[in-house]
Every structure is written in structure tokens, then in C-alpha cells.
Structure 1
Amino acid sequence: MKPHHLHHLPTTVVTSTRRHYATKYTAKVTSTSPSGRSLSAEVTALPSSPYPTDTRGYPIPRRHVVCKATQILLNNNHNNNQSHPSASSPSPFLDLSDYLHSLSLPLTPTEASEILKSLNHPSLALSFFRLCPSISPNFQHDSLTYTRLFLILSNSPSVPDRSHLVRSILSEMDRSNTRGTISTVNILIGFFGNSEDLDLCISLIGKWKLSMSPYTYKCLLQAYLRSYDSGKAFGVYNEMRRRGHTLDIFAYNMLLDALAKDQKVEQAYKVFEDMKRKHCEPDEFTYTIMIRMNGKIGKADEALALFQEMLAKGFSPNLIAYNTMIQALAKGRMVDKAIFLFSKMVENDCRPNEFTYSVILNVLAAEGQLGRLDEVVEISKKYMNKLIYAYLVRAAEQIGPCK
């Protein structure tokens, strides 16, 4: 841009301005009038990046560079794995180094991340990551390339000693004073599976001066659930509620299932009611979880109320839902209701399995009503065959005579 001379400007002129996006200018005062009421200034644009940029000034990966580099690595790696390795270069990275040194501009971290994304083997991706600083002039990894490598490793369960490898790469980040992003943390939370490592992930949020996103909370909650720590998962859930974040139905059901298995009834009901208040309608699996929990703690009436609520919402119970409710009734010694629900199950074309019959047999035996076994057989006669009948006879014999 050629210099322009501006005359008769007010004395309040600002000597540097910035457009809303990326183009920057500087202005140098060259002269002022004797009265000081006007001046002349020379305006020049700052040098633009030699790399292609988008409308906001961010660098765009050079696709031809990414494609060529990926082709060199994949082709040479494929040839070296064939029966005639001599047909290829001793190392794909020698060819890649020659190519990168032939470029007028060195490889950027954004381009390196795109190349990593295109490589089809984690060991090849790791080797490329390690060698980037030596095969491209003045190359330095940034959060983008580190995050990409973490994602590749998290999706590669066959990599030996992955946890140790990820921790060593985190140490490299620390030594190079590279700060990750919240996406880096999210990937690491999903990767690690125990509380000690999850504590490390949480510490990175403060160390890198990041803010937790709703997705970060969800990742952390699910990580604690996979570690069988429903207490810490519920703590994360409470923090989410305070910040106005919500879960999807999948995450809600994961949390509910963990709380129910640990018989944390009060906390489970809190989550269940929150679901309904926040317009995340419970599904059939949600109700099945709550019915099973109430059945296990001997609250058959509460379980039956939930089952009826599920029906009122238009859900058609499947085999698991029916079995769960029948088991809850059996635990509450409600024989008549258990058999009635069994009849409705058959009426609605839901085929009983061995578990269904075993639950009914056990409650009949416990209540001294094994004589009603013929009634059960009659109800399910359209599903009755020799195998099921033999099972019922054998099970009844094992239970023994009524007391």
C-alpha cells in the first residue's frame, strides 16, 4: 500500500487504528501547523501474513501441502509394510523432510494437525508428531497439535501403555509452556478412567485459566460414573444445576442408574424430578430404573405407581420393564398383582422368559400358593412349549412342596 498524506486533521487524531477484523494500520505524524491545530500523518498498513487467511484473519491450512505430506507418509508406510520394502524410501520422513524444506513457507501447526487427522495409524501419527520440529524449519507444537494427538490416542485402545504415553505428552506440554484448550481437557477427561487422573484434568482447567463448558461437566460426570463413584458424579450434577446447565436423556439415565444401584434413593428422586421440571421427559428406561430401585428396597406400592405413570405417558413396556415390575411385586409378596400383571404382559404380546417364570414360581412357593402354577400355565398357553413346561416342572420340584 502506498503512503498517503493527510492534511488538516483534528488534534484528537488517534495514531493507530484497527478494523473490526484483521487489517491493521499505523499512522506516523510527519508535521504540525504553527498553531498546533492541524497536522500531517503518514499511514501505512502493517505487513499481512504470507499464509492464506480467512475473512477474520485466521490462517487457512494449505490443502495442497496437507494432501502431499499425507500422501508421502501413507504411501511410504504402505510400501514399507509390503514384502518388498526396498521399493520405498528407507524412511517416509526423509521424503517428507525434503518436501517441507522445498516450500517457501514452513509447515504450520494447523497444517500439522490436519496431517495428523489424515493418518490411519496411531504409531505413524505419533512418529510424525515427534519429528515435526526436526523436519520442518522453526516448527513448534501448539495446543491444536497436542489436542489432535490426544484425540488420536484416546480412539486407539490397542496402543501399548496409552495412559503413561498421554501423561508423558502432558509433561512435554508443561515443559514447553503450551496451554491447552477446554477441548483438550474434555478429551483427557474422556480418556482417563480413575479419580486420580480426573483430578489432574480438573487441575489443568485452573492451570490453563479455562472455564468449564456444559460439555466439560457432562464429560466429568460420565467419567466418575465409569469409575463407579456416584457420589462425585452427583456432586458434579449439583454444580451443573447451580450454573443452569442440563443433561441429555442418556446422561440422566446413566446418573440415575448409578444412584439406584447404590440405593441412594433421595438423590435418585431429586434427579428424576429435575428431569421432569427441566422438560427432559423420562423414557421407558428411566422408569424401569426407578421401579427396580423401589422394588429392591421393598417399596412395591411406589414401584407400581411409577409403572402406572409410565403407562399413562403412553409407553409400551418391554420384557425388561415387565420383569422389573413383576419382581418388585413379588418382593412385596403381592401374588395377585404379580399374576395379574403377568396376564397383561401376555395379553400385550410380550413373551415371558425363564426369569419371568422363576420370579413367579418363587413368590408362589414363598406364599404357599404353588397350586396356582396351573393358572400361570393357562395364562401363557400361547407361548407354552415342551421346553418351557419342562423348565416349570423342574423348577417346581427344586423348590419343593409348599410349607
Structure 2
Amino acid sequence: MAAATSIPPDPTPPPRFPTHRTVADLPQHVHVLCEVLSTTPPHEMEARLTATGVQPEPETVQQVLKLSYNSPSAAAKFFRWAGMSRQHTGYSWNLMVDLLGKNCLFEPMWDAIRSMKQEGLLSLTTFVSVFENYAVARRFDEAFMTFDVMERYGIQPDIIAVNSLLSAICREENQTVKALEFFEKIKASIAPDADTFAILLEGWEKEGNTAKAKTTFGEMVIRVGWSSQDMFAYDAFLNTLVRGSQADEAFKFLQVMKGKNCLPGLRFFSNALDTFLKQNDPAHASAMWDIMVDSGLVPNLQMYNSMINLLTRNNFIDNAFQLLDSMVFYGAFPDSLTYNMVFECLIKNKKIPEVGKFFTEMVKNEWPPSCENFSAGIKILFDGDDPEMAIEMWKYMVKNNISPRDDSANAVLLGLCNMGRLSDLRRFAEKMIDERIIIYESTMTKAKNAFYKEGRSARELYDHILRKWKSSYT
């Protein structure tokens, strides 16, 4: 390989190749070659490689090159040595070109490309690698130059090449404007297709540039028309609008798309719901949900949970219940998160009868409340004069060994204390102490006040509980 002689030595000793643990699944002879490359001085490399007796079969060469990206000079010496005994495949050459490009050794990379041309092994894949490595290095003018000279190397610069270069640039942070610069220059000679616009629109989406997205989308519609096959482009465009707080604009375009039978897929609707959730915008989320369902798309569990989260967060409990009741008909079965979001909303809004009923439904469907919701539910039921359901919740926790339950236990004791049910308070407290449940000092203080109000005999009962409580910590 002519390129090998022009590669400068690595400025620092190359990192060692993967140890036996990381290459254990590779053939032994590949491991042997990697060890030679990682431990041999440059002037001894060729002799040491020959001494291994390993034949550089194409697959062997490819495996070694894939492990050599951090040591380009050693890889180049190995590549030249392997090429002395047999001709390299196009795939091996492409690996070498990519390896050199990723290490910003662009002059040797072009030496390799010229060698490939002489051997008739160049392909579009070679140039795609060059595009990507120039883009990563932010050397966009050289990427454009590469496109311009493709034809001299026998590769036709078609729309696939255009899209490959655009994609490489758009993957870089905040560089879609550079991709647009190339697009504007080339579109007169090579007609863009739907993929071209999808790449640009995804770039604007990533950068949140709504103005450029609208312009690009408008040109797309004029040049390639409407097609249900162009879903990724539509998704990217609408996502840009929604994330850019232009939901009303997105709805206008959605109506047009609906009329063209080109509504976006679940990817867009799922992303839009996540965005509305972050923006705490239940109105637009509900409108988007209706369009989605009316168009025949079936939401998944994650989307239901996002919507129910948004509704319960804003106390639209009736709407949340409607979704909960309908979701099973669409094959999305509620999970623990679904039930707990609704349950928490009922608690927050002090819907006392509904809290008890919904708890019964939760345990019936084998999705009990979270420990936090058990505690909050018990407290609100005591405050709302439904102590029996509160105690029912506590008994469920004990029976099913749900923990931690310290907060719930203290909620039970405080509830009984506030209601003046001292005999029940004593019974529950003693049992909780026996079960090593932590009763808070503040709870004991309130219990003391309740017992001491009832006279001497009640004080003695409290003192008995207190002694038992103290002994549980010794």
C-alpha cells in the first residue's frame, strides 16, 4: 500500500489492543497478530508478523483492522505486510480508508483511495466513509470537494451520494445550515427525493429551528408532493413545531395531512405527548389524542400513561377515568404506574368514597398502591371519616408483607388517636411494636396527649405502651 510510507508514527505509544478477555471470542491467530502490533517497534514489525506464520486471509485482515483504530501507523504497516502475499478485498480497503479518516490522516487516506482506484475497488461506500470523517472533523469544505471529485474516480455522484453527505453533516451538532448550503448548490443538477428532505427536516428538528423547518417542508411538498411513505419527514417537521411551542401550527398541518391521507405515525404522536407532558399542556395533548385515535392509530401503554399523567397532574380525574376504562379495549392493559397515578389524584382531591372503591379495584387487579400512596390513602380516609377502609388498607399491607410500612403504620395510629379510639390505638400500637415497625416520637407524643386526657387508667395504658416502645430500641 503506497499510503503506508506517508503515515507519521503515532505521537504517543499506541494503547494496547483488547486483552484476552475482550478478544476471547476471536480466533487465536487474530489475537497473536494484535499482540505483535501492540508490542513491536515499527522497524521490526514486518519480520515479527512474518514469524507468526499466520496467513493474512481476508477475514483475518478485517478482524485485525477493526481492532486497530487507535493505532493507525501499526495498522498501516500490517495492511502493507498483508498485501504483499495476497490482494486485499474492497471491504478491507474500505476499513483502511475509514481507519485513516477517523484518525484525521487525510493525505494517507487519499493515497489509499488512489490505490483503490488503480485496483478497481472503489465504491460509493468508500466516499460515504470520507464524507462522515470530514464531517466529524468539521472540515465541510473538504467534504464538498470530495463529492465534486467523485466522478473523476469513476463513482457517479447521484442522489444516494447527496443524501449520504447531507446525513453526515446533519449528524453533527448545529450544522444543518452547512447541509442546506450544499443542498442549495446541488439541487439544480441532482433532483432531491423525499429522503433528502427528511434528512434536512430531522436536522432542523434536532436544532429546534421552526422557521427553517417550515421553509424546507414547503419546498418538499412542491418538489416531491405528498406520500404516506414519507412518514419520517412528516414526523420530524411536526415534532419541530410542537417542541417549538407552535402546537397550533402543528394542528393546522395535521388537518392538511389528514386530507392528503398522510397523517404521521405513532412515533410523532408519542413524542408530541411527551412534549406536552413536559410543557404541562393538557389541552393540546387531548386534542392531539383525539386526532390520533380518530385516525385509527392504537396508542400503547406508555402513551396512555403519559396522557393519564398529564390529566391527573391537572386534576382532570373524570377524563383520566375515561382513558383508564377504554385502554383495555385497545390492548393496552393498565400497570402499577397507571393505577397509582389515578389513585394519587383521587387522594389529592380528597375524593373519599372514590379512594376506597378504587383501592378495591386496584387490589382486585393485583396492582396495589405504592407505599407512599398507602400512607397518603390511609391518612385521607381517616380524615374523611372512613376509618374502616383505612384499616382495611393497613391490613392488606400486613397480610401481603408490603414494606416499608412505617409511614402507613404511623398514619393508622394518628388516625385512631384523632378519633379517640384508644383501645384500638393500644392494640395496633402494641402489635406494630412487636413487629419491629418504627413508631415516630411525634406519634407517641400525640398518643400521650390523647390518653392523658382520659384520666388515670388511660395514662397507665399509655405508660405501658411507652415502656414497650422504649424497650424495642434497646
1:288–1:321: 8 Å Cα contact kept in structure 2?
yes
Using the alignment, how far apart are the partners of 1:89 and 1:173 within structure 2? 24
1:379 to 432, 436, 440: 432
Deviation at 1:129, TM superposition (A): 4.5
Is 1:183 matched with 2:232?
A: yes
1:231 to 280, 283, 286: 283
Kindly indicate which of the two structures has a greater share of residues assigned to strand.
1
Tell me the amino acid that sits aligned with residue 75 of structure 1: N
Pairs within 5 Å for 1:97-176: 97-99=148-150, 102-103=153-154, 105-108=156-159, 110-117=160-167, 121-123=172-174, 127-134=178-185, 138-152=189-203, 154=205, 156=206, 162-163=207-208, 165-174=209-218
RMSD, aligned CA: 4.1
2:386 to 334, 342, 357: 334
Percent of pairs identical after alignment?
15
Using the alignment, how far apart are the partners of 2:357 and 2:156 within structure 1? 70
Deviation at 1:253, TM superposition (A): 1.9
Using the alignment, how far apart are the partners of 1:373 and 1:366 within structure 2? 13
2:179–2:200: 8 Å Cα contact kept in structure 1?
no
Q: TM-score, normalised by structure 1?
A: 0.63
Using the alignment, how far apart are the partners of 2:357 and 2:193 within structure 1? 56
Using the alignment, how far apart are the partners of 2:255 and 2:147 within structure 1? 38
Pairs within 5 Å for 1:148-297: 148-152=199-203, 154=205, 156=206, 162-163=207-208, 165-174=209-218, 177-178=222-223, 181-193=230-242, 196-205=245-254, 209-213=260-264, 215=266, 216-297=268-349
| 1:30 match | none
Gapped regions of structure 1 (runs ≥ 5):
1-63, 82-87, 157-161
1:256–1:289: 8 Å Cα contact kept in structure 2?
yes
Using the alignment, how far apart are the partners of 1:238 and 1:383 within structure 2? 51
Deviation at 1:320, TM superposition (A): 4.6
Deviation at 1:230, TM superposition (A): 1.7
Deviations 1:118-148 (A, max 9, x none): 5653345653453244468813444322322
Tell me the amino acid that sits aligned with residue 250 of structure 1: Q
Deviation at 1:398, TM superposition (A): 8.5
Task: Classify the secondary structure of the residue corresponding to 2:189.
Answer: coil
Tell me the amino acid that sits aligned with residue 252 of structure 1: Y
Tell me the amino acid that sits aligned with residue 183 of structure 1: F
Deviation at 1:66, TM superposition (A): 4.8
Q: TM-score, normalised by structure 2?
A: 0.55
Deviation at 1:225, TM superposition (A): 3.7
More deviation in 323-332 or 142-151? Answer: 323-332
Structure-2 change in CA distance of 1:362 and 1:400 (3 Å): same
Deviation at 1:393, TM superposition (A): 0.4
| 1:350 match | 402
Using the alignment, how far apart are the partners of 1:249 and 1:233 within structure 2? 16
Structure-2 change in CA distance of 1:353 and 1:331 (3 Å): same
